[in-house]
Structure formats: structure tokens, C-alpha cells
Amino acid sequence: VFERLGPSLFDFLKRNKYCPFPVDLVREFGRQLLESVAYMHDLRLIHTDLKPENILLVSSEYVKLPGCKSSAIKLIDFGSTAFDNQNHSSIVSTRHYRAPEIILGNRLLCWKMRMWFSLCFFVLYEGEALFQTHENLEHLAMMERVLGPLPEHMIRRAKKIFPERLKTKLA
């Protein structure tokens, strides 16, 4: 049994017609979330599904935006948590927040990939996900448009894992 918590950050956004959070509040949520991730990192654990749906406001009484001083959050859903550098048999994380390494077939999870969870801050600040797609190659193309070309070592590794599918598409 757990204490009663408030809505997820995603549900709160949805209830408020996807109106973004103020930057000071995003910063405060970010600080708390980074502390949570750092604590898990110290334990060599990786939360594989960090997203606004898995970050809850502590208070269940919010109808409007909380102030920065009363903006406590809690991270939930540790069901797919993995140890650092552990192979994972299936794709982990929700697509909108998935690291390019995972899209390219890497199942060895490491904390560097988890920095992609910071994309959830974009959702809080803008009110929508940065990469909205349901297809791997389109997702990678969107990433490259925003962040620049994928590193060569990632592409080489992907070609080894998916030689036929990626021969022409990532050449």
C-alpha cells in the first residue's frame, strides 16, 4: 500500500489542455527528477520508462499549477528497472523518450542512454513531445533533424544488428 498521490505530470498537462508549465516549475521538477535518477545511478539501477506519465505530483489536490515551493513530485513504475550495463531482452522505454541506441537495437542498457529522459522536460515546457512518431526510421530522422547526424559508431553497430534493413536506409 502506498500513500495517495496526485495526478501524473502528463495527466495534469492533459487536464489543462496541454498548456505548458512555467520554466521555473520545469526547473524545479527537473531538479527533483535528477536527484531521483542520481540516487538510482548510485545503486547502479536504470529506470527504463521515465516519462511524464510516471512522474506524479505528491499532492492530489492540484487543479491549477502548483507553486515552485509546493511542487513535490515522485517517480513511479519501477517494473522494468534494470541494472546498469544489463542486457534487456525486449525494447524498453516509451517511444517518445527512447534513446537512439535502443531504436538501433542495442539492448545493453547503460546510464548514458537514460539521459534521453530529459526529453520529458521538453513536454513539460512545450506541452507536447518533441519526437511524435510510431516508426523507428522516422524517429531517427527526426532526431537527426533536431540534433544533427548520429555518430558513425552507432550506425556501424546498427548495420551489424540489422544488416539487410539498414543497408540502404542508413548508408
> To 5 degrees, how large is the angle CA 32–CA 36–CA 39?
135
The catalytic position among 11, 24, 42, 49 is 49
C-alpha cell belonging to residue 60: 492530489
> Is 42 among the residues known to form the active site?
no
In angstroms, the Cα distances linking 46 to 27, 41, 85 are 22, 7, 9
- Give the pairing of strands 82-83 and 45-46: antiparallel
Residue 70 CB neighbours (<10 A): 12
User: Amino acid identity, residue 139?
Assistant: H
Q: Is the dihedral of CA 123, 8, 6, 34 positive or negative?
A: negative
Residues designated catalytic: 49
